[in-house]
Structure 1
């Protein structure tokens, strides 16, 4: 019972019969599928590479070409918030918390916005920063070339200097920053914004 069966031997001069094997179609089918995928993907490769470059490349400054405010105090126009200097500022005409007042700007060509930088108050200098009210909360609304709007509410710290926020919008042609509330309000005080900057990629 412990003996192994001997292997079947064939008579001298005879040729063993091979069993039928299925043709191996799996590999050719896979290669055909890969080739078809590459063929259909080729037209989209430049766009995909461009998107990857935008996502991994450092954003650049994308300054607006036109700007306006809901209202302007004398000597403090909307242009002061987009002039590249943070020692001049925009303020609305009426004193108060500035709720509902806004800054709006246009871009000469559609841009992919990724970040918004805000210098709150009248100046980036601490000794000048507190001379007027400062925004506490702002709603940023980005309008795309096809009219679609994307909004995000940002909360600012009550401190002098640059504050950066991730705000994203594709094919943006217009941006509006609406004041929702403010710090340091009081009689005769207006809500001031020293500078607004946009960063992203040009389309």
Structure 2
């Protein structure tokens, strides 16, 4: 079972900002950090662990709400990430990706799609990139097992949105299409408190 919460962790140059961690019972063959692009890697958003059968990437993707520049940064980060995982696939490696993607892919993935069509996190270009990513041979693991609405992983704390389940599904596990055949389940744990996000996970046979 993998869950989005190690042995490795990243610390960004700006303390208290972004950063990811990986806790694992199984010792990875190797652990590295970043996508190999300095302007992305200085924010400490990526940990990469080689588990022999697959390469795992834990990623905190950028948020584009702050400004047009940050939205552009987010989209360019997306493209660098896709190039990175595609290169792993060209090397014959299986890939599993977990992280806060900061985008709800389809209308089913957020409670109020119409009201958020012009908000970063549900913009047409962000959603189109997710289409492109999946078209490259990757699977949204949760939707492989569950096509029901009302399944979210993030809720706005200021408006107590979690009490009303007015949320967004922005935390994902992805796997390449070959490796996805090894999955036996993918799930969200909305009853686990302690953050504005909740855990997501997969089970691998």
Tell me the TM-score normalized by structure 1. 0.28
Higher relative contact order (CA 8 A, sep 6+): 1
Return the index of the structure with the highest Cα Rg: 1
Which structure carries more helix by proportion? 2
